[in-house]
Amino acid sequence: MSLSYQFLDCGNRKKIEKFGEYILIRPCPQAIWKPFTPEIWSTFDSEFIRTGSEKGTWQGKKLPQSWEVTTDSGLKWIIEPNDFGNVGIFTEHFTYTTDLFQFFDKNEHILDLFSYSGSNIIELLKNGYTATAVDSSKSAMDAYSKNLENNQISRDGQRLILEDAIKFVAREVRREKKYGSMIVDAPSFGRGNKGEVFDIDQQLVDLFTHLEKLLKPDGKLVLTLHSPRFTVEGLKIFLSQIFKNKTIQPKEILNMSKSGVGLPSGIIIFIG
């Protein structure tokens, strides 16, 4: 049986979450304030401690390799803590799912770049949407597949592509493919199974120059960014130059905790 997920509190540059029966603490640099419910922080199962620029270790109770939780939508998710501090889902994705339902045409196949385990889109797939999910991480694609299976989502019309997103997009442009819907959850930095590297500072411009060629004239695109190096106004200027005939609508992603604070978790931009 899967147990529920809860985002409990954040502060002192950390966040505390309950994934089923396990309470985990992870780094959260943007939470510069003090915790709102300090009494809950004394009891936890494991804390991720960073030991290098990218990696770290989980300290405390020994965690299972994986387990399952249920979110408020009723969907089941595989939780797999790793040595980068990730757990298999990005919970801020759940905050804008309703917006995606309102924005994307259900009849348009969605191109989902940097799909990770599907936490940004699987609720749509459960409700009849179809997507091509692209990620260069085999573990991410395996988790995506498990999340489809655990939520009894048919694989009909769904494509899972284990490949570097930049290479995939360039090939689709050469093939003159077109998509009516796209969602891009661009990481600040990513490394694929074959050594592929995505650095948002170096590659964001080239990526969106290609995506403009893939998008149908009446198509819609959603960009989510979690890098503090980009501002709303700067992104509006950049995207308005590329998508000259589109409306650019940005807003901040706020992930609400049980303690009542909305944790700033990036920027989402609707282009259509």
Write out pLDDT tens, residues 179-231. Answer: 999 999 987 655 555 655 556 666 788 889 999 999 999 999 999 998 777 78
Taking alpha carbons only, the member of 126, 63, 65, 66 closest to residue 94 is 126
Q: List CB contacts of 117: < 8 A, sequence separation 6 or more.
A: 77, 78, 88, 89, 140, 143, 144, 147
| Domain assignment of residue 127, given as a range | 91-271
Q: What is the pLDDT of residue 204?
A: 81
List the CATH number of the domain containing 33.
2.60.40.1180
CB 70, CB 4: distance < 8 Å: yes
Q: What is the pLDDT of residue 220?
A: 98
The model carries a pTM of 0.92
237 and 128 in one domain? yes
Does the residue 86 lie in any domain?
no
Q: What is the pLDDT of residue 224?
A: 94
- pLDDT tens by residue, 195-205: 555 566 667 88
111 and 44 in one domain? no
Residue ranges in the chain modelled with pLDDT below 50: none
Q: What is the pLDDT of residue 16?
A: 98
137 and 36 in one domain? no
Does the residue 177 lie in any domain?
yes
256 and 141 in one domain? yes
Rounded Cα gap, residues 111 and 123, in angstroms: 15
List the CATH number of the domain containing 214.
3.40.50.150
Q: What is the pLDDT of residue 227?
A: 77
Q: What is the pLDDT of residue 103?
A: 98
Taking alpha carbons only, the member of 236, 187, 244 closest to residue 212 is 244
Query: What's the number of domains the chain is made of?
Result: 2
